[in-house]
Structures are given as structure tokens and as C-alpha cells.
Amino acid sequence: MPDGPNIARVAALIGDPARAELLTALLADRALTATELAHVAGVTRQTISGHLARLLDAGLVAVEAQGRHRYFRLAGRDIAQLLESLMGVAFRTGATRLRPGPREPALRKARVCYDHLAGELGVFAYDSLLARGVFAAGGEGLYLTNAGARWFSEFGIDPAAVAAGRRAFCRPCLDWGERRHHLGGGLGAALLERVLAQQWADRADRGSRIVAFTPRGEASFRAGLAA
């Protein structure tokens, strides 16, 4: 008898085209209504309700009610990591869309990977921080150096406050577009929050994962991270 959990059910749920589209939309770490998800997936409101019921039952999505509305989001960061990994495999094996959308270049330049910065600029940030000696490799992955703690403090991020959270402190996350790493974990999320607080970039479109940098914002971001 095979060992370990049975992955077939989860794989089948994710493998449906409509469910794959709605799960990908929820990677933006913003809760969406069933109507919004139906539009993304290209199906009717009744059909999306059936898909969401199956995903809720499997624990892949969670729901929160506010008044008359119900908002759906991914059930956890591990689900987001699974979806990003699948995107990486799909990209590497050539399973790309026949007609890339008009937002594809912007998505590959800078986007959210659940709650941290990904894309070309996310990879640039990770490489720059490594070159600065902000991180060093340890037995269990990355760890923050003393110089790194000072750099984050000067950048406006309190590493001690981030470390107190109930999540991974810092970790490399493989970027599906660049095929290199960007910064995940609590520090990665804090870095994105700081970028948005500085108004270097914006996430004005509720249903999109794109992080839109202004020209001046991108210049400031690159200057602040350059080794």
C-alpha cells in the first residue's frame, strides 16, 4: 500500500481550469467575492458557487462573512506556496498561455507572491541584499546577519517585531518567471509593506497581483538596495 497522504484529490481540485483561475486570483492575498471570482474564472455565479464549495470542503480556501457579503481567500500561505511552485513548473515546461494577457509584462516585473514582492524587482532585491551581506546561509536556510539587522532598521523595518510574528522569519522563494529567488517570509512581507508605505509603488487594482512602481519609486527602490 502506498505511504503518505493521497495527493490525488487536491491535484484534481487544482487541475480544473476554472478552479485554477480562481485560486490564482486569490494569490493576490486579497479576499474576493464569488461574483468577482466568477468573472475571473469566466463562469456563471451558480457554477463558481459549486467550485467554491468543493475548495472550502478540501480546506484550500477560507471564507469570511461581512454583512450580506462573503469574501474568499486562500486558506494559508502553504496553499500559496504550492500554487507558486506549480506556476514555476508550468513555466519551465512550456505550459504557458497561448495568448499572454496585456498585463503579463507588468506581472513579471513586479507582483505579489501572496504577501511579498516577486518578479524582476523582487529578485533584484534578494540578490542585492545577499550582496550586501544582509543574509547568510545557515543549516536551516537563511539567517539575518548583524549588518542585515542594521540595514533593515535603517530602511524602516524593525526585524525584532517581524521575528515576533507566527511565521517564517525569512526564506528564499523561487520566482516562477525569473527562475531565481526572491525574499519570502515575514521580512519579505515587511519589505513590500515598506515599499507601499513609501509610495514607491501601488496596488490600485483590487483583482490584480501587479505591484505598479512609479518611475521615481523604482529608481529610489533600486538606489536603496544597490550594494
Q: Tell me if the pTM is above 0.95.
A: no
B/e letters for 169-197, b = 16+ CB within 10 Å, e = fewer, are bbbbbbbbbbeebbbbbbbbbbbbebbee
Torsion over CA: 82, 84, 89, 90 (sign): positive
Q: In a structure prediction context, what are the per-residue pLDDT tens digits for the chain, which is 227 residues long?
A: 565 577 888 889 998 999 998 898 888 767 889 998 998 888 998 999 999 999 999 999 999 888 788 899 898 888 888 887 788 777 776 655 534 444 678 888 999 888 899 999 999 999 999 999 999 876 667 889 999 999 999 999 999 999 888 788 888 888 877 878 899 889 999 999 999 999 999 986 766 788 999 999 999 999 998 86
Torsion over CA: 19, 25, 31, 32 (sign): negative
Q: Using CA atoms, how far apart are residues 49 and 69, in angstroms rounded to an integer?
A: 13
Secondary structure in 3-state letters for 97-109: CCCCCCCHHHHHH
Counting Cβ atoms within 10 Å, is residue 81 exposed (0-12), middle (13-18) or buried (19+)?
A: middle
Q: Give CA angle at 97 (93, 102), nearest 5°.
A: 135
Q: Which helix (H) or strand (E) holds 70?
A: strand 69-74
Cβ atoms within 10 Å of 29's Cβ, excluding its own: 18
Q: Using CA atoms, how far apart are residues 204 and 207, in angstroms rounded to an integer?
A: 9
Which residues are bridge partners to 142 per DSSP?
137
